[in-house]
Amino acid sequence: MALLCGAGLGCSGGVELGRPAPERPDLVEPDLTTSESTVSLVHVAMDWSRHCTIDASGRAQCSEGVPPPGMALQDLSLAGDDACGLTREGRAECWGGPLSVGQVPAPDTSFDEMRAGNGFACGLRDAEVWCWGDLDPADRATFELASATMLRSGNSKVCALRSDGSVDCLSIFSHETWLPGPVEQLYDGPQGVVALTGGGELTRQGVAGPDTVRPEIVAPFAVALGRRGLCVLTPTSRVVCDYSLPAIPEEALALAGDDSPCAITLAGELTCW
C-alpha cells in the first residue's frame, strides 16, 4: 500500500497542512414541517449497506428507512437495523431496530457523544459512559466502569478510548480489551473501528486485509480504510487517498465508509466512490 505523504516529508503530491481550513456551512434553524431537505449537507454516516446524511438544519435522510420527524440532529450512528441520532440538545434518538422508541428507550439524559452497536448503544457525558440495549449485565458494567475520552463504532461494536490511551470494545456478545495503548484517536468504520496509535499507524479492529497503514498525516479528521486502500480527511479539509478515482473530491466537510466511501463536498453535496 502506498504511503500518503504530508507537507515537509519529501514526497511528491504532499498534503498541505498549513493553510486555514475552508469555512463550513453555518447551521440553520430547522424547518421540520417538510420531509425534503433544502439546505446543504454537513455530515454522513455509513454501515455495511446504507448511509444517512444530516443537513445544516439538522434534518436526517437515509438510503434505507425513514428517520422520525421533528428531530434536529448533530450526529448519526448506524449498526444492524438501528440508526441512532444525537440531537442538538444532546438527546439520543434511535429508530428502525430494537433501540427505537418504545422498545429499548435511551437514558433520560443528554450526551456529548453517542454510538450505536447492533442492538445496543452507548453515550458519553462528562467522561462517563452509559450503555443500554441487549447487553450482558456484567459486560455492560465493566465497560461503563472506567472513564473515556471518546466513543466510536464499527462492525456491531462500540469502542471507548480511555484516559490512559487504551481501547476496549463492547458488543452484545462480549467486552474485550483491543489495544493497550497508547492510542491518540478513534474513527468510525463499517467493518471495524480504526485507531490512530501513538506510533502514527492506523489499525482497524477485527478485520483481515489492509488493516494497518502509516498515513503520514497529522491527526486526520476522518478516515476510510477499505480494500482499495486508505482515504483520509485532513485537518484542512483535503481528501487524500492512496488510490485514484474520478469521483474523489479534492476537499470535503465529512468522510465515512471503508470499501465504498462517501464524502460531503464543500458545496454540501454527497458523493460516493
Query: How far is 96 from 49, CA to CA, in rounded Å?
Result: 14
Of the two residues 193 and 6, the one the predictor is more confident about is 193
CA distance 192 to 144: 21
Instruction: Give the tens place of pLDDT for each residue, 169-214.
Output: 999 999 999 999 899 999 999 999 999 998 888 999 876 444 677 7
Reply yes or no on whether the pLDDT at 6 is more than 60. no
Average pLDDT of the residues in 13-29:
42
Q: Which residue has the cell 480494500?
A: 227
User: What is the spatial distance between Cα 251 and Cα 97, in angstroms, rounded to a whole number?
Assistant: 34
Closest CA to 196 of 159, 238, 251, 227: 159
Give the mean pLDDT of 121-142: 97
Name all domains of the chain by residue range, CATH numbers in brackets: 41-272 (2.130.10.30)
Percent of the chain past pLDDT 90, that is, above it, reads: 69
> pLDDT at residue 35 above 90?
no
Instruction: Give the cell for residue 58.
Output: 439538522
3-state secondary structure of 32: coil
Model pLDDT, residue 38: 57
Q: Is the pLDDT of residue 272 over 60?
A: yes
Identify the pLDDT of residue 224: 94
Pick from 152-156, 161-165, 176-180, 207-211: least confident: 207-211
Q: What was the pLDDT predicted at 19?
A: 33
Name beta bridge partners: 131.
Answer: 122
pLDDT band at 102 (very low <50, low <70, confident <90, very high): low
Structure confidence at residue 205 (pLDDT): 87
Q: How confident is the model at residue 40 (pLDDT cuts 50, 70, 90)?
A: very high
Instruction: Please give the C-alpha separations between residue 91 and each of 36, 123, 128, in angstroms, as whole numbers.
Output: 23, 9, 15
| Residue 135 CA: distances (Å) to CA of 28, 69, 100, 144 | 37, 28, 16, 12
pTM equals 0.85
* pLDDT attached to residue 33: 47
30 has a pLDDT exceeding 50: no
Cβ proximity of 125 and 115 under 8 Å: no
Give the gyration radius of the chain's Cα atoms: 18
High-pLDDT (> 70) share of the chain, %: 84
What nine digits make up the cell of 123? 453515550
